[in-house]
Amino acid sequence: MADESAKDKVAGKAKEAMGKMTGNRRMESEGKADQAKGKAKGAVERAEGAKDSLTRDDKD
């Protein structure tokens, strides 16, 4: 899953850059949104990992 969040961030960065180069504000905005989506996915993954870690520690 971590790969998916990284893909979103990289693709978003590329889309944002392409939008800036071509003057396409919509593409630039979509790129920023894709980056935000990737960051959110990463945060969820980290939270789930922390929850799993706590759950495993409680069982010891």
Instruction: Say which amino acid occupies 16.
Output: E
Structure tokens at 17: 């850059």
Predicted confidence at residue 4, as pLDDT, reads 87
Q: Is 16 within 8 Å of 32 (Cβ atoms)?
A: yes
Predicted confidence at residue 52, as pLDDT, reads 78
pLDDT tens, position by position, 3-58: 889 999 999 999 999 999 999 999 999 999 999 999 999 999 889 888 877 777 55
Predicted confidence at residue 2, as pLDDT, reads 65
Around Cβ 7, how many Cβ atoms within 10 Å?
13
How far is Cα of residue 25 from the mean position of the Cα atoms in its chain? 21
Predicted confidence at residue 20, as pLDDT, reads 98
Predicted confidence at residue 51, as pLDDT, reads 81
